[in-house]
Amino acid sequence: MNDDILHPWVEEILASKKYRDLHIPPETVTALLAAEFERFGKIKPAVKSAKQKLHNIVASYLGDPDYEQAIDWMTTQLPQASPQEEQTMCEQLLSQHASTRERLPHLREFYETIFAVTGKPSIILDLACGLHPFGLPWMGLPQTIEYHAYDLHKPRTNLIQAYFSQRYPHSQAHHQDILLNIPTIPADVAFLFKETHRIEKRAKDSNVPLWQQLNVNWLVVSLPALSLNQQHDLRDGHRNLVNNLLHKTGIPWQQTVTEVYSEMLFFLQKT
Ligand SMILES: C[S@@+](CC[C@H](N)C(=O)[O-])C[C@H]1O[C@@H](n2cnc3c(N)ncnc32)[C@H](O)[C@@H]1O
């Protein structure tokens, strides 16, 4: 019954000018709308609220490159590009999204700090990755790395796949909602960068099943230490958020916390 009510609205949101080129998985919009319909009991306020949530999930306001142009470069220029040219292109891409732009000035230190704790991984899951896989040239990992990048924004996963196909043949970009279809590939490390607090805005405690079901040695969660405008200190709130979520998983974890230039890094290991 609900399906009949929700379906036309889901179709309308997916076909809207704002989202039609992003190919958000239909199940994401259906789940959002179903939850809001349950909450409001009426379709109009449910649609309004689901649209607001989708706006925050996709977060186009954080920035985008020109995907067509970038894919064209990956397929025509990258095969003969020097490592320096590849790095320059990756730097340009990273600079187009707020999350990756913020860490550009200290990328090497960022990855050195992570791998000093986790060891150099052979298999990585990058959850809700955005443009972060273009940091690979700074990670110091071999081309044999198995890097699984997950995002629900299709132009992003297409671009990342175009990059992997040329440079990292064992790696894969997955167009997938990580909360509805939790990745269970066994891996050394999972990155969940700058997304945990946003996932909680989608639905409270929705990190919990994700953290429980990941089949990884290390889960590295990052959260901003300061607000986007740099005015507010978020450290205490974010430490509490991670501790509460860990507690709710009901699993004993070992936790180490550090910070690289205003990005808090939580190294989590199931014991
Ligand atoms: C704030 S950006 C984070 C980027 C990246 N993790 C970083 O720190 O550089 C959020 C990204 O997560 C993606 N995303 C949000 N929720 C998701 C979900 N449930 N499944 C897959 N991707 C998701 C969005 O499409 C967007 O590209």
What is the tens place of the pLDDT at every residue in 199-249? 999 999 999 999 999 999 999 999 999 988 888 999 999 999 999 999 999
Q: Which atom of ligand 1 is nearest to the CA of 178?
A: 20
Write the residue with the smallest CA distance to atom 13 of ligand 1: 128
The model carries a pTM of: 0.96
> Which residues of the chain are in CATH 1.10.8 domains?
2-58
Residue 81 has pLDDT above 80, yes or no: yes
Residue 54: band (very low, low, confident or very high) from pLDDT cuts 50, 70, 90: very high
Ligand 1 pocket test, candidate residues 152, 158, 174, most atoms within 8 A of CB = 152
Ligand 1 pocket test, candidate residues 64, 129, 193, most atoms within 8 A of CB = 129
**Rounded Cα–Cα distance for residues 74 and 163 (Å):** 6
Report how far ligand 1's centroid is from the alpha carbon of 86 (Å): 23
Residue 60: band (very low, low, confident or very high) from pLDDT cuts 50, 70, 90: confident
| pLDDT at position 197 | 96
Cβ of 126 less than 6 Å from ligand 1: no
First to last CA, the chain: 44
Report how far ligand 1's centroid is from the alpha carbon of 130 (Å): 5
Write the residue with the smallest CA distance to atom 14 of ligand 1: 128
Please say whether the beta carbons of 15 and 6 come within 8 A.
Answer: no
| pLDDT at position 61 | 83
**CA distances to 32, 89, 206, 209, 257 from 180, in Å:** 11, 33, 10, 10, 28
| pLDDT at position 24 | 96
**Rounded Cα–Cα distance for residues 254 and 42 (Å):** 44
Cβ of 57 less than 6 Å from ligand 1: yes
Fold adopted by 2-58: Helicase, Ruva Protein; domain 3 (1.10.8)
Write the residue with the smallest CA distance to atom 20 of ligand 1: 177
**Rounded Cα–Cα distance for residues 190 and 213 (Å):** 12
Q: Which helix (H) or strand (E) holds 29?
A: helix 26-40
Cβ of 182 less than 6 Å from ligand 1: no
Mean of the per-residue pLDDT values for the chain?
96
CA-based nearest residue to 158, from 266, 37, 65, 44: 65
> Which residues of the chain are in CATH 3.40.50.150 domains?
65-270
Q: Which helix (H) or strand (E) holds 268?
A: strand 263-270
Report how far ligand 1's centroid is from the alpha carbon of 1 (Å): 32
Q: Give the architecture-level CATH label for domain 65-270.
A: 3-Layer(aba) Sandwich (3.40)
CA-based nearest residue to 219, from 253, 250, 243: 253
What is the tens place of the pLDDT at every residue in 102-125? 999 999 999 999 999 999 999 999
For the sheet containing 187-193, what is the strand order? 172-175, 146-151, 123-127, 187-193, 216-224, 263-270, 253-260
Please say whether the beta carbons of 162 and 74 come within 8 A.
Answer: yes
What is the tens place of the pLDDT at every residue in 131-162? 999 999 999 999 999 999 999 999 999 999 99
Residue 1 has pLDDT above 70, yes or no: no
Report how far ligand 1's centroid is from the alpha carbon of 138 (Å): 20
Residue 44 has pLDDT above 60, yes or no: yes
Report how far ligand 1's centroid is from the alpha carbon of 177 (Å): 9
CA-based nearest residue to 20, from 28, 7, 11: 11
